[in-house]
C-alpha cells in the first residue's frame, strides 16, 4: 500500500469513514437493522423533526438538498419513512418516519452502549479520534487551508 503524507489527509479521512461504514454495516446486519449506515442520522433527524421538508432537513443536517433527495426514496422503499404533500404547499413533500422506522431507530439506539465501548477501546489504542476530528473540522471552518498556505 502507498504511504500517504499530510497532503492526502482528505483521502485518509475517507478511508477511515469507509472502514467505519463497512464494519458498521456488518453490525447493523447482525442486529437486524435495515437502515443504511449512511442514512441513520437522516432517519433520526426525520424522527425528531417530522413531518419535515427536504429543505428543512438539509438545513438541520447541513447536507445538500440533492443528497437528501437521493437517500429518501431508499428509506421509503424500506418502509422507514413516508412522503405526503404539504397541505400548505402542494409542491413540497413532507417526510415522516413510519412505525417500522421508529422500531429500527429503537433497535439502533439499543446499540449505543456497544458502539461507545467499541470506539472507546479503539481510542485506547490510538487516542481521542472523535474529539480530534471535531477540533480539525472547527479549525478548518475558522481558517481555511488556502489561508493557512498563503496561496
pLDDT tens digits for range 118-143: 999 999 999 999 999 999 999 999 99
Cβ atoms 130, 124 nearer than 8 A: no
pLDDT score of 88 more than 80: yes
Cβ atoms 80, 97 nearer than 8 A: yes
Which residue spans of the chain are classified as CATH 1.10.10.10?
Answer: 36-109
CATH architecture assignment, domain 36-109:
Orthogonal Bundle (1.10)
pLDDT score of 14 more than 80: yes
pLDDT score of 1 more than 70: no
pTM: 0.84
Residue 30's alpha-carbon distances to 25, 107, 108, 110, 121, in angstroms, are 9, 12, 12, 13, 20
Distance of CA 66 to the CA centre of its chain: 15
pLDDT at 146: 92
Amino acid at each position: 500500500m502507498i504511504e500517504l503524507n499530510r497532503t492526502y489527509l482528505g483521502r485518509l479521512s475517507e478511508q477511515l469513514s469507509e472502514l467505519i461504514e463497512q464494519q458498521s454495516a456488518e453490525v447493523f446486519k447482525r442486529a437486524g437493522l435495515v437502515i443504511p449506515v449512511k442514512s441513520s442520522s437522516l432517519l433520526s433527524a426525520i424522527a425528531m423533526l417530522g413531518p419535515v421538508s427536504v429543505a428543512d432537513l438539509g438545513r438541520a443536517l447541513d447536507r445538500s438538498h440533492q443528497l437528501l433527495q437521493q437517500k429518501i426514496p431508499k428509506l421509503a422503499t424500506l418502509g422507514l419513512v413516508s412522503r405526503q404533500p404539504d397541505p400548505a404547499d402542494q409542491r413540497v413533500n413532507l417526510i415522516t418516519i413510519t412505525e417500522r422506522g421508529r422500531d429500527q431507530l429503537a433497535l439502533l439506539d439499543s446499540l449505543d452502549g456497544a458502539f461507545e465501548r467499541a470506539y472507546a477501546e479503539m481510542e485506547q489504542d490510538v487516542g481521542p479520534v472523535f474529539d480530534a476530528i471535531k477540533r480539525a473540522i472547527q479549525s478548518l471552518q475558522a481558517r481555511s487551508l488556502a489561508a493557512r498556505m498563503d496561496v
